[in-house]
Amino acid sequence: SPTRILTYDYDLAALNRVKRYSDQLARYYGAPNAVLIMPADVYAIEINGDNPDRVTTYFSEIRVAANDLGFSVQPWSAIREQNLDLYEEILQWECSPEALFRSTPKALWYDGLFPAALSRNSALGEDAVHQSAFRYLQERIVEARVIEAVYTPIKLSMVSKQKDDIVDRELPRVYILEKELKFPWLKGS
């Protein structure tokens, strides 16, 4: 239907690629696996300031498509809420401003976090840009720690390795998507 937000060229192609690899792991290598799709709603709404209705609609479409492929879907906001004590503990100890400035390479701040935050928040001023970059970094680190503790997964990342390297800490991850299928939510309209 014309009102759908999903861009089938990217979102469904990425989901189908994940399904193919999941099936191959089970069939050819005898490695049972379960796919959990974790929509990054917190980043879209809280950090990037995207329209909540648009984000909800988009991730609802993702949920339907993922469920059709037999995947579980749990948005980061729900996982965060279910593990709020752990989330807050990690936030306090590992993601305080002092800890992050000590543990995060300056190149990540200046080559990755600030430019990305600037592209989304430039109209709001320099403080908003810095706050957005800091919140993104906090959220990514806490997410990695919570996900690792709760699910002990191997993360199939839908972004580039460079975007994950520092923020995912020791979370095991693989990159199977071609360049054209990475960041599917940024493709299309």
pTM of the predicted model, to two decimals? 0.77
Residue 156 pairs in a beta bridge with 174
Q: What is the mean pLDDT of each run of 10 residues along the chain (189 residues)?
A: 51 90 92 92 88 91 94 97 96 84 64 59 60 81 93 76 63 70 50
pLDDT of residue 3: 42
What is d(CA 72, CA 21) in angstroms, rounded to the nearest whole number?
16
| Residue 167 to residues 21, 66, 69, 104, 142, Cα–Cα distance (Å) | 25, 26, 29, 9, 9
pLDDT of residue 122: 55
pLDDT of residue 161: 61
What is d(CA 121, CA 114) in angstroms, rounded to the nearest whole number?
10
What is d(CA 16, CA 37) in angstroms, rounded to the nearest whole number?
12
